[in-house]
Amino acid sequence: MKYINKSFVIKLILFLFFLFVSNFFLLKPGLWLYQDAAGWSKNLVEAYHAINEHLVIFGPGYSNYYLSYDKGILVFLGLVHPIYSFLLIFLFGAESSQTIFIISGYVLAFFSFYLFSGIFFKDNNIRYFLSLIYTFNPLSFSTQGAVYLLAGIPLYMYSFYKCVNDKKSISLKWLLLNIVSAYLMISYVRFALINFVILIVYLYFLLRDISFQKFKRLIVLFLIYLLVFLPFAISIFFHLTEKSETAVFYTQLFSNLLPRFEMYQAFNLLQSFNLKLYSSNLWILIGLAFFAYFLYLSVQIQKKHYSVFVVLNMFLLLLGISLFSFGRIFPAELHHHVINLFPFISNGSEWALFITLIPFILLLGYISQFNKIHVYLFSLIFVTVSIIPLLNTQDFQLKKYSLHNIPRAYDEYFIEPYIGISKPTYYIPDMCWRARYMDEADTPTQCINKGIKYSTIALSNPRVLSGDDYYFSIFLQKKADIDNLRITHNLKNIIIPDDLVPAKGPGPLINSKEVAEVKQINNILKNNENLNLKSNVNFNHYFYKDMNNYDFLLYSPGSFSFIDEYTNLLTNAVSIDRVPVFASPDLKSRTAALQQAGIKYKFDPLNPTVYYIMVDITNLDDDIFLQLNQTFSENWRLKLIDKNIYESNKCKTKYTFYKITNNSSCDISLNIYGINILKNLLERSVIDADQFKGNILGNLWLIKSSDLKKYHNENKLYLVLVYEKQLYYTISLIISISTVLFIILMITIQEIFIKTKKHDKY
Amino acid sequence: MINIRNKKLVKYSRLIFLWLLIPIILFLFWLFSTIFLTSNYSFTVIVNGYNKSVFETSELKPLYKGDKAIAEFRAMENNLGIVAVRFHTFKRINSDSVIFRIKEKNQNIWYYENKYLTNQFQWDELFTFGFPVINNSKDKIYNIEIESVSGSSGDAVAISKYPPVLVAQYQYPREKLTSNFFELLNFISIKIYYSFSDLNVFISSMVYLLPLIFYLIIIKYFKGLFQPPNYYLVYIFFLSLLIYIFLMNQNNGFIELLLFGAWFFLNIIYKFESRITFFIALIFMLTVILNLVLGFSDIADRASIWVYYFLIAGAIFVIFDLKRKKTKTIDLKEFIFKFLNKK
């Protein structure tokens, strides 16, 4: 109660006022579907899928890519967001949860910075005003709803400071907060890297005079981090040892693009990222005037007041400015080297602005020692001015759209909760497009389809897919001769919009020429005899007439079709009746004697890293090929198992038989993500099967007749296909979660102990 | 007697060193910098720029499918081998292609024609179209045509508004220059003529003269080399900087580096405290704002580069100040008074 005085009430009212005003547009009904904010889950199933994506190292990813991919370092990043959003959707539903999510991000960012600033400044009023700037400024408005990301650094630094500097020992409460904030810091790959750059500077500042006693605490902290972030460490280890391109591929792809801004934009303090609310000349001038004001205040610092703190913040601020305006100041040749050091600026040097935020505010706080009133004034005017554009709820970017108004067909296909195996689908032009109803409602493009029901067979996002997978996805864009994709991608459905309109604002860059192309492809598909059409007022849904008779996910090929370049894949349609596989001509000599075996397999639709397989051998003298249409990787292991292990995994569903491919499958639930097969994998040897690339991107194994004779069990072969890395990742997850649970348990015991001790005293 | 002779020898040697040798070195620095560093082009290339009047197409008009930007220019020299055109990309990567054609006026067939992807074009930068060298191009009139293959709304380039929008480059054969001294002299004189007819080169050249001017002022007015009694050097520095910002219409990294270095040099000899540099950054920031208000965005852009340089310099000088907290330095107030020549 001692805190509740007049000053406290005024500050609380002011904070709530800014919070309300800056989120005014969010209070309207509907979802804010602007750019990345469009990824907000529309129901609990989607939210659950988003969490699950962080538990499997190899999976379909956020956009539900049918062939799945190794997510590398991306797998453990961003775990906080889906868990928190799942909780909110469960409690408040899709629409309200988004508003609460964003507002709570503001509150968290404010309090985090308030605590953090306490390390450097004693004056609570100054801390309050600095926290206002940190929370309510154009950069925080522009993180597409993910304001909570800004809380990472301040919260981490403060809890770290408390852990290291507490008098007696490391406080478990602060340790837990430190772990949570570290999760926040790595919640987004670009922010993770930006945060790392900032963190080094402030850690140096805090630890530069550390005593030996505290150094020991650092070692303890490091060991705890190692346990808690073991999944992250493992994903980085694999990323480095395998030289994986995941998450860094876009850096190579965009390294030739050198974004150039007018140099004065680097000093424009009213500069937002993604939300283009401040792009007019007037706002630029106001933004520059704020910087001039800041410079004026900086000139007030006397020589005698300079310190390491000032120097570090100045250089961090200048680093952000330099990276932002790199293309303007430095030669293009240097850009390639810099982009490797700071990959977050590739394809968008505006990201560098997030480096400038904390040092700018801390310098302002430092200036307050000499000119407090000016700093108050600066803060209040800056926050007030920067909020003004957010009050225009009619602004195109701030418009919301209610899920209830989404046309029936979109709702049925892409929004209604769906539980089951997703259906491989070819989207033309892409799985996200601007539909006519978005133009009529004058809202930003809504990317509402997450592919939960109809997963995409092509994903042209270089931030997640890399190398051949990406280039092949690009190759697949807007093609009409697609019958062979049944074999390579198990293709069953094609969805092509009738209501496609050219792009408006951010989103897929479709122009009127491409709209005409899509219509042309639609006309070609109408004449494809293999397809049936089910159309609605919004789009055409084509599906293969015999789609229930084939399953090319996991099958034993009966014939080979040799192609040397993937660009030749679609030129001649191959009959699926002979159950073919596309392979390199190098394999010709290995395919002399092959049999098409019957296959039965079981798998967990949520975990595409384990397949239990029973191969029905008809002829022990001929080789068998196995094709798995999931992204090729040498991490796949084909191992022998006992018949009883195969049978002990009970099917949840009945086997579905596919006549053409002569295979059948059922769903199972893997406990703890298949960890139970680890023992088996360690015990039995790998079958001597050669692995090749089959169907362009998939995996093809050759099981030789000699092995069939050696290992068969009543003319049957029991196998398991495992993505090996998943097992290590699962173990690391278990260690991580156990450590966090152990810390929570210890906190509870510590709290009980303290309370008991206090009680005894009295 | 020998001692007096030796003393005289030392004195004359010193005078020759200070008044002849170093000035010659600095003069040569000016000459070579002007020839080699003021231009982005090879030594054997003579460059002649043209303003937007050579184009029939208006500046910044996007070239959509089938649209042509047509230009006509008179070749000033022989050996025309490259025509560079400044394109505006609307700050995006465009996927259109353009067909470049060139022919002598009144000829029926195009001398050269090729297709180029516009995703290589940089925003408001010159893009070079090369073709087989035309040996006897001098005084002939040439037509060029740039046609968009598939430009559409949101995916098209335009001719930039920044001069020169077209640059003709004449490639002299290196062998010819190295084999004949008089040919080389003739070439250098032509090169200097064309170089100095370009305002940017002229201003750059003046900046490269700064070390010589600084040097001469220092040894003329100062008893000791590093005890400046006045702010002549500071005035010259700012004059050069203002000329560079306000009169040049392109950036030159070498000049910026030289001026940046000059400011460091001045700070070391005058012992300015870092606040002075921040104060200058503030003044330039205000210049940026003023120029933006007046609509001179190019000048604002160049001035803002100097805000950046002064901030970088200021941050480095803060480290100096940390090291020399107890040393007497010139503070902001003193600097302003001395600069304005007030007591």
pTM of the model: 0.84
pLDDT score at B231 = 81
pLDDT score at B228 = 52
CA-to-CA separations, B280 to A78, A295, A358, A360, B324, in angstroms, rounded: 44, 10, 24, 19, 21
Measured in angstroms, the CA of B44 and the nearest CA of chain A are apart by 23
Which residue is listed with tokens 């200097």? B192
Show the tokens assigned to A285: 């001038």
Kindly determine whether residue A511 and residue B155, on different chains, have CB atoms separated by under 8 Å.
Answer: yes
Q: pLDDT tens-digit profile of A82-119?
A: 999 999 999 999 999 999 999 999 999 999 999 999 99
pLDDT score at A309 = 93
Distance between CA atoms of residues A292 and A278, nearest Å: 18
Which residue, A303, A571, A399, A573, is CA-closest to A29?
A399
Mean pLDDT of A591-611: 89
Kindly tell me if the per-residue pLDDT of A590 is higher than 90. no
pLDDT score at A92 = 95
User: Which helix (H) or strand (E) covers residue A743, if one does?
Assistant: helix A724-761
Mean pLDDT of A67-92: 91
Cα angle, residue A551 at apex, residues A547 and A554 outer, rounded to 5°: 165
Which residues in chain B are contacts of A307 at CB distance < 8 A? Answer: 322
Q: Which residues contact A506 (CB under 8 A, 6 or more apart)?
A: A34, A35, A274, A444, A445
Which residue, B274, B259, B262, is CA-closest to B306?
B259
Kindly determine whether residue B301 and residue A511, on different chains, have CB atoms separated by under 8 Å.
Answer: no
Q: Which residue has the higher pLDDT, A461 or A284?
A: A284
pLDDT band at B1 (very low <50, low <70, confident <90, very high): low
pLDDT score at A150 = 94
Q: Which residues contact A360 (CB under 8 A, 6 or more apart)?
A: A269, A294, A313, A317
Kindly determine whether residue A262 and residue B278, on different chains, have CB atoms separated by under 8 Å.
Answer: no
Q: Which residue has the higher pLDDT, B146 or A680?
A: B146
Length of chain A in terms of residues written? 762
Cis peptide before B164 (omega within 30 of 0): yes
With residues binned 3-state (H G I as helix, E B as strand, rest as coil), the percentages for chain A, rounded to 5, are 55, 15, 35
Q: pLDDT tens-digit profile of B6-58?
A: 778 888 888 888 888 888 888 888 877 777 776 667 778 888 888 888 888 76
Kindly tell me if the per-residue pLDDT of B81 is higher than 70. yes
pLDDT score at B58 = 67
Which residues in chain A are contacts of B315 at CB distance < 8 A? Answer: 311, 314-315, 318
Q: pLDDT tens-digit profile of A554-568?
A: 999 999 999 988 888
Which residues in chain B are contacts of A269 at CB distance < 8 A? Answer: none
Angle between helices A353-367 and A308-324 (to 10 degrees): 150
Kindly determine whether residue A303 and residue B325, on different chains, have CB atoms separated by under 8 Å.
Answer: yes
One-letter amino acid at B114 equals: N
Kindly determine whether residue A511 and residue B152, on different chains, have CB atoms separated by under 8 Å.
Answer: yes
Q: pLDDT tens-digit profile of B175-199?
A: 777 777 787 888 877 777 777 767 7
Kindly tell me if the per-residue pLDDT of A2 is higher than 70. no
Give the neighbor-by-neighbor strand order of the sheet with B68-74. Answer: B68-74, B141-148, B97-104, B112-117
Which residue is listed with tokens 């009543």? A714
pLDDT score at A739 = 93
Mean pLDDT of A524-529: 94
Beta bridge partners of A723: A636
- The three state secondary structure string of A677-713 is HHHHHHHCCECCCEEEEECCCEEEEEECHHHHHHHCC
Q: pLDDT tens-digit profile of A139-171?
A: 999 888 889 999 999 999 999 999 888 877 778
pLDDT score at B93 = 74
Kindly determine whether residue A318 and residue B286, on different chains, have CB atoms separated by under 8 Å.
Answer: no
Which residues in chain A are contacts of B291 at CB distance < 8 A? Answer: none
Kindly determine whether residue A329 and residue B274, on different chains, have CB atoms separated by under 8 Å.
Answer: no
Mutation target vs A (from B307, B312, B329; most A CBs, 10 A cutoff):
B307
Kindly determine whether residue A511 and residue B150, on different chains, have CB atoms separated by under 8 Å.
Answer: no
Distance between CA atoms of residues A543 and A495, nearest Å: 9
pLDDT score at A1 = 55
Which residue is listed with tokens 């964003």? A102
Show the tokens assigned to A281: 């000349």
Q: Which of A267, A302, A308 sits opposite B285 (nearest CB)?
A: A267
pLDDT score at A675 = 62
Mutation target vs B (from A201, A306, A477; most B CBs, 10 A cutoff):
A306
Distance between CA atoms of residues A466 and A242, nearest Å: 13
> Which ipTM did the prediction report?
0.88
Length of chain B in terms of residues written? 343
pLDDT score at A714 = 86
